[in-house]
Structure 1
Amino acid sequence: MVLLVNYSYLFQSQTPSDFVKKFLSRFNPVAVVAGFDHTYGGASDDNMANLPKYVGDTFDVITVPAQKSNDQKISSTKIRQELDNGNIETVNKLLGRPFQTKGVIVHGEERGRLLGYPTANVEHSEYQWLPTIGVYVVTVAFGGKKYLGMASIGKNVTFSEDGPMTVEINLIDFKQNIYGEVVRVNWLAHVRGEIKFQTADELIEQLDRDEQLTRNYLSVHPDILD
């Protein structure tokens, strides 16, 4: 079970005793686990080091120590910053696995089909953090299999200046209809930023290059489809 907390000013400013008695104890926990830098009240010393004295012997307190990569602290803030900068390879190193999102395939404008690159439009929850605008090498998992793809996050600026933000994935060597399918997208490598092309032919030429780079990535990393 996951509980989404309304992190209001009232919740943030509660005393440590109230945090334990009125919030944590409601769940009858055996143990509470949090990172070493987790805080839970308005004061600077409302931290994990002091939580045991408020908890007493009600339940155990487990503090997760700092995790580092190349002497940098691994944190959700750091990961979001790297996603915003398009550094998906760095994100994957920090996570120890590919960054993954989940969405459903929906109908789009089907412009990619006219260009020779049909795309699966993935609708994500508003709560999911996505990589920044650009083109990426991805794998898409559904139906018990993984498929290689090149994903575009952007507004299709070649055709419209004020279009909606979309996630469109061309699945390499894949021709099936998968509307309504729930998919998991593994984001593997950043290929390029979004480019506004003068003609559709210029866009197609770039897509050809993107496809070749995507295929090359698979040849170097054949295990991504395992």
Structure 2
Amino acid sequence: MQTIHLSYPIQNADILPFAGRKVIAIGDFDGVHLGHREVIGRAVENARRLGVPAAIMTFDPHPRELLGQDKYSRLLSPTSYKLEVFEELGVDCTYVLRFDKALMQASPQQFVDRVLAALGVEMVVVGFDFTFGYKGQGTPDTLCELGQGRFAVEVVRPFRMNGVKVSSTAIREALLDGRPPAATELLGRSYGVRGVVVSGDKRGRQLGFPTANMDLTENFVIPAPGVYAVQVLLDGSWYQGVMNIGTKPTFHSGKVLSLEAHLLDFDADIYGSTIFVKFIDYLRPERKFSGMDELITQLKRDVDTARIKLGQIE
């Protein structure tokens, strides 16, 4: 898959890679959940049927972040991670369109003329709730009207599971409520975050449970504070583990949030390494312990419970 970064209005499109006819799926696709995959999948199917490239158009930064909606300062899938997921879906290229003031103020007509028509699209695939143009004035119906005689439009209906619409909002709520399995069901895969292992206070090693302190490399949504059963990707290999998200109240009175992963049956220096942590299940809330002995006893229980959750033992 080739990634092409663009700014509004698009100029000299004829010299861009994949110039000419194409089918394109448009959306912010935060999370690339099952509903998003339905939209992208339809674009790929149509492209193969028409014998043209399949493309995605997404936006950076997230439109709602630029509009000052604080919850979108953290994302289910920051752009670089989202691109990795796109590549798995069989698309030929992704256009990352910079969402700035000029694009935000473009009318629906201008978006069609200066973006879609400029790129020479043959078909556009969008979700039922897609909006575009100034203040989201454009809807799928608007897109169909403006595209007449220039490109076809397919609108994908809501994707539902057990009668509930799959949405990025529902996934965020599941994670912020400490319900990773619910997020997994909606995403079609386990939710994860990526970061670099940095030096901490090394108290975990003193307790007999060394931890990898994680500094997130991008603005991922952080699940609710608590202790989780996790899987950790390190140097191409997966490890089972336990992660604590919280402020470590037994030892600190501050409110600085930290992410610490204890890898089961593992003992190596991995400072500076990049790890990817998938959240499998929630074990318990973070709490303050009376002392080291009580904490160690609980940590042992956490490891035993995590092994069960992760399928190591019955």
TM-score normalised by the shorter chain: which range applies? Answer: 0.7 to 0.9
State whether structure 2 residue 176 is matched by structure 1 residue 120.
Answer: no
Taking a change above 3 Å as real, the CA distance of residues 26 and 116 of structure 1, as seen in their structure-2 partners, is farther
Structure 2: runs of 5+ lacking an equivalent: 4-57, 68-100
Give the distance between the partners of 1:82 and 1:56, measured in 2 at CA.
40
**2:185 — aligned with what?**
93
Contact 2:194 2:218 in 1 (8 A): no
Correspondence 1:134 to 2:226: yes
Q: Residues of 2 paired with 1:60 and 1:5: CA distance?
A: 27
Partner SS state of residue 169, structure 2: helix
Q: What is the rounded CA distance, in whole Å, between the counterparts of 2:201 and 2:124 in structure 1? A: 48
TM-score (norm. length: structure 2): 0.64
| Structure-to-structure mapping, 1:52-71, within 5 angstroms | 52-71=144-163
Alignment-mate amino acid for residue 116 of structure 1 = G
Given the alignment of the two structures, is residue 157 of structure 1 paired with residue 224 of structure 2, yes or no? no
Instruction: Give the one of 7, 11, 15 matched to 2:107.
Output: 15
Residues 12-53 of structure 1, C-alpha deviations (whole Å, 9 max, x = no match): 453210121234445554543332111113577621133122
Distance 1:219 1:12, change over 3 A: same
Match for residue 286 of structure 2 among 173, 194, 197: 194
Cα separation, partners in 2 of 1:140 and 1:28, compared to 1, 3 Å: farther
The answer to whether residue 136 in structure 2 is matched with residue 80 in structure 1 is: no
| Partner Cα separation in structure 1 for residue 312 and residue 267 of structure 2 | 24
Which stretch of structure 1 is more off in the superposition, 200-209 or 18-27?
18-27
What is the RMSD computed on CA atoms of the aligned residues?
2.4
* Alpha carbons of structure 1 residues 118 and 69: separation in structure 2 relative to 1, 3 Å: same
- Which secondary structure does the structure 2 equivalent of 1:121 belong to? strand
Q: Which residue of 2 aligns with 1:177?
A: 269
Closer, same or farther in 2 for the Cα pair 1:66/1:138, shift >3 Å? same
TM-score (norm 1): 0.87
Deviations 1:132-179 (A, max 9, x none): 111100000122211000001111111112142111000001001111
Cα distance, 1:100–1:32 mapped onto 2, change above 3 Å = farther
In the alignment, the residues of structure 2 paired with residue 216 and residue 113 of structure 1 have an alpha-carbon distance, to the nearest angstrom, of: 23
In the alignment, the residues of structure 1 paired with residue 277 and residue 106 of structure 2 have an alpha-carbon distance, to the nearest angstrom, of: 39
The separation in 2 between residues aligned to 1:183 and 1:29, in whole angstroms, is 38
Number of aligned residue pairs: 222
Q: Which residue of 2 aligns with 1:110?
A: 202
Deviation at 1:70, TM superposition (A): 1.3
| Separation in 1, partners of 2:303, 2:62 | 44
CA contact (8 A) 2:213 2:260 kept: yes
> How far apart are the structure 1 equivalents of 2:201 and 2:122?
51
Alpha-carbon distance in 2 for matches of 1:120, 1:170 = 6
Structure 2 vs 1, CA of residues 183 and 126 (structure 1 numbering), >3 Å: closer, same or farther?
closer
Pick one of 121, 124, 142 that aligns with 1:32.
124
| Cα distance between partner residues in 2 of 1:114 and 1:81 | 36
1:103–1:26 Cα change, 3 Å: farther
Q: How far apart are residue 117 of structure 1 and its match?
A: 0.6
- Determine what percentage of the aligned residue pairs are the same residue: 35
* Structure 2 Cα separation of the partners of residues 37 and 119 of structure 1: 43
* Segment of structure 1 superposing worse, 27-36 or 144-153: 27-36
CA distance in 2, matches of 1:125, 1:34: 30
Q: Distance in 2 between matches of 1:207 and 1:195?
A: 12
Q: Could you give the per-residue CA deviations for residues 162-215 of structure 1, whole angstroms, max 9, x where no partner exists?
A: 142111000001001111211221110000111111212211111111011011
